[in-house]
Structure 1
Amino acid sequence: MRVFVTGASGWIGSAVTDELLAHSHEVVGLARSDEAAAALEAKGATALRGGLDDPDGLAAAAAAADGVVHLAFKHDFTDYAGAGRTEHTAVRHMLDALEGSGRPFLLASGLASIVAGRTVTEDDPSPHHGPDSPRGGSENLALSYADRGVRAVALRFAPSVHGTGDHGFVSTLTAVARERGVAGYLGDGANRWPAVHRSDAARLVRLALDRAPAGSRPHVVAEEGVPTRDIAAAIGDHLGLPTASVPPADAERHFGWIARFYGMDAPASSARTRDLLGWTPTGPTLLADIAAGAYAAPEATATR
C-alpha cells in the first residue's frame, strides 16, 4: 500500500514510518525541512516537502495515495485556536480528496476532555465540533466521512507516548523539575495520565491501517492511567530530587504551559481496541522508562 504520512519525521511518525516500511508498505512522508526530508529518504521513504498550511498540496498527496495516516499537528500553545483551524482545513481537504474511494484515513486525536469523572472508552464520542474547538474538531470531522466513502479512523493517543528520545510532556516535566529543583505534581497527584510506549503505538497504527473499520476510535493506550504523583516520584528518584505537591493556584507559575494538561484526570481503556485489532502492548511502562533513563539527557526537553 502507498501510504501518505503527515508528521512522518516526528516522534510518533518516524516510528510509524519504520513500522510501515518494515511491513512492505510504501511511505510518502510530509517533510517541513531539508533535514527531515533527508532522514525520510535515508530510511527508504519518499519525502514530500510541505506543511499543514498547504491544504491543496495535502489534498493532492492524499488523492495519489492508497491511504493516509495524518499525525502532524501544529503544537502552537500561544495560538492553540489558530492551530485548530489549520488542522480543520487540512483534514477537510484531505478527506474531500478521498471521498467515495473507500480508502483509509487515519487521524491522530487525543483523549483529554472527552468525558469527566470516569474512564474513557472507545464508545465515547468526542464533544468537540467545528474549527474553533480543540484540535479543530478534527476527530468528528474525519468520522463524518465514514458515511461518505472514506474508511475514517480516529486514533486516540495517550498523552504520554514515551521512550528514549521523547521530547513531549514527560520530557517537559523533567526539564521543569531540573529548573525548579523539585519534581512536582498538582494537589494530591491522584489525577491519571494514560501512557503507551512508542513502539506499541507504531504497531497499533499499522494494525489500524490494515483493518480498523470506518468510524472506529482505537485507543492507543497501554496503561489506563498512571497517577501524576507516581510520575513525579519517578522523575525525582531518577534525578535525585525531592518530590512535592504544587498548589493548583501556583500551577501555571511552576509548570508553565504544561500545567493545563498536567492537572487533567483522563483515564482511558483500550480493551475494545485490543480485541478489535489483536493488539497486545509489549513495551516498557512509563515509570520503567523514566527509571531506565529515557529522560536523562538535559537537552531532551521542551517542545512538542
Structure 2
Amino acid sequence: MRVFITGGTGLIGSALVDSLISRQYRVFALARSETACTRLRAIGAVPIHGDLTDPARWCAALPPVDAVIHAACDFSDAMTDIDRTLLDHLIPAVHAMPGPVRFLYTGGSWLFAQTPPGQSIDESSPFDPLPEFQWMCSGIDRVLGDERLHGIVIHPGCVYATGRHGHYGLLARDLQTARTNDRVTLIGDGDVTLPMVHADDLADLYCLALGNAAPGSSYFGVAINDLTNRALAGLIARHVGTPDCQIDAITVQTAITRLGRWAAGLARHQTMTATKAVSDLGWNPAHCDLENDLRRVGMQFRD
C-alpha cells in the first residue's frame, strides 16, 4: 500500500513513518525544507517537497497513493485557514487517484467536553471543542461526509514521546525547564487529568485503522487517563530535575498569555475510553506507565 502523510517529520508523523515502513508500506511524506527531506529519505520515506500553507504548489503533482493520513497541525491562529485551504486542494487530488483512497484525519481530545469526576466519554459523545480547535470539526465533517473518500478519524489524547526523532510532545517544555532551570510548571487545578498517549502507540493505532477500520468510523487514541497534572509535574521533577527541583503553579490565564489560547486545554479535565479501538482493531498500547517512560528519559539526559 502507498501512503501519503502530512506532518511526516512532526511528533505524530515521525512515529507514523517509522511504523508504516516497518510494516512494508511505501511512504510519501510532505517536507517543507531540505533538512526534512533528508531526514525522511534517511528512514526510507519518499519526501514530497512542499509547504502545508501552499497546497496549490504540490497537491496536483502527488503520486498515486492508496491512503492519505493528515497528521499536521501547528497550533497557530492561522490553522483554520490553513486546514480549509489544504482540504480544498487535497480532496480533489485524492478524487483524481486511479483507485479508492482511505483518508485518515486527525482530531483530538480537545474537541470534546470536560468530564465530571468518575465519568468518561467515548466516540459517541458530541463535540464541544475549545474555540481554537473548532476548525477540526469542519475538517472532520468534510472528510466523513465525502462519499468518494473512505474517511476515518483518529482522536488522540495529549501526545507525548520519549525523544526519538527529537520529539517529546506534551512533556517538552517541562523537560526542558527541569533540566535547565530546575523548575516544572503546574497549570491550573492540580487535580485535572489529561488523557495521554505515546506517539509510538498512536502510530500503531493509525496503522491498525488504515488496514481494518470501516469508512466513516472514529477512534479515541488514549492509553493513560488517571494521572493528575500535579502528579505529572512531580514525576518530571523527580526523574529529570535535581532533588531541589521546584514546581511552580500558574493560573490558566497565565498559561494562555505565555503559550497561546490553546493552552486552556491543559486545564481541561477529561477521561476518555479507548475500548472501541481495543475491541474493533486489537489496539494494545505498550506505554501505559508514564513514570517508567520518564525514568528512561531522565537516564538518557544523564548519559
Q: TM-score range by the shorter chain?
A: 0.7 to 0.9
Q: 1:279 corresponds to which residue?
A: 283
SS of equivalent residue, structure 2 residue 5: strand
Q: 2:203 corresponds to which residue?
A: 202
1:213 partner amino acid: A
Report the CA distance between 1:130 and its aligned residue.
11
Counting only pairs closer than 5 Å after superposition, residues 225-304 of structure 1 correspond to structure 2 as 225-238=226-239, 239-240=241-242, 241-243=245-247, 245-248=249-252, 250-252=254-256, 256-257=259-260, 259-283=263-287, 285-293=289-297, 297=301
Does structure 1 residue 110 correspond to structure 2 residue 108?
Answer: yes
Q: 1:10 corresponds to which residue?
A: 10
1:226 partner amino acid: L
Q: Decide whether aligned partners of structure 1 residues 232 and 224 sit closer, same or farther in structure 2, where only a CA change above 3 A counts.
A: same
| Structure 2 segments unaligned to the other structure (5+ residues) | none
Give the alignment's Cα RMSD to 1 decimal. Answer: 2.9
Does structure 1 residue 189 correspond to structure 2 residue 190?
Answer: yes
SS of equivalent residue, structure 1 residue 192: coil
Q: 1:302 corresponds to which residue?
A: none
After superposing on structure 2, the runs of 4+ consecutive aligned residues of structure 1 that deviate more than 6 Å are 129-132
The more displaced of 131-140 and 148-157 is: 131-140
Q: Is the 8 A contact 1:19 1:202 kept in 2?
A: yes
Does structure 1 residue 150 correspond to structure 2 residue 149?
Answer: yes
Q: Is the 8 A contact 1:184 1:244 kept in 2?
A: yes
Equivalent-residue separation in structure 1 for 2:57 and 2:125 (angstroms): 33
Report the CA distance between 1:285 and its aligned residue.
2.6
1:89 partner amino acid: T
Report the CA distance between 1:178 and its aligned residue.
5.6
Q: Is the 8 A contact 1:87 1:136 kept in 2?
A: no
Equivalent-residue separation in structure 2 for 1:129 and 1:111 (angstroms): 10
| Structure 1 segments unaligned to the other structure (5+ residues) | 299-304
Aligned-pair identity (%): 26
If the length of structure 2 is used for normalisation, what is the TM-score? 0.84
Tell me the number of residue pairs that the alignment of Structure 1 and Structure 2 aligns. 291
Does structure 1 residue 71 correspond to structure 2 residue 71?
Answer: yes
Report the CA distance between 1:297 and its aligned residue.
4.9
Q: Decide whether aligned partners of structure 1 residues 191 and 128 sit closer, same or farther in structure 2, where only a CA change above 3 A counts.
A: closer
Q: Decide whether aligned partners of structure 1 residues 130 and 68 sit closer, same or farther in structure 2, where only a CA change above 3 A counts.
A: farther
Q: 1:39 corresponds to which residue?
A: 39
Report the CA distance between 1:111 and its aligned residue.
0.8
Q: Deviations over 1:55-99 (max 9, x none)?
A: 2345335572111011112333xxx1x222111221232223334
Q: 2:90 corresponds to which residue?
A: 94
Q: Decide whether aligned partners of structure 1 residues 287 and 61 sit closer, same or farther in structure 2, where only a CA change above 3 A counts.
A: farther
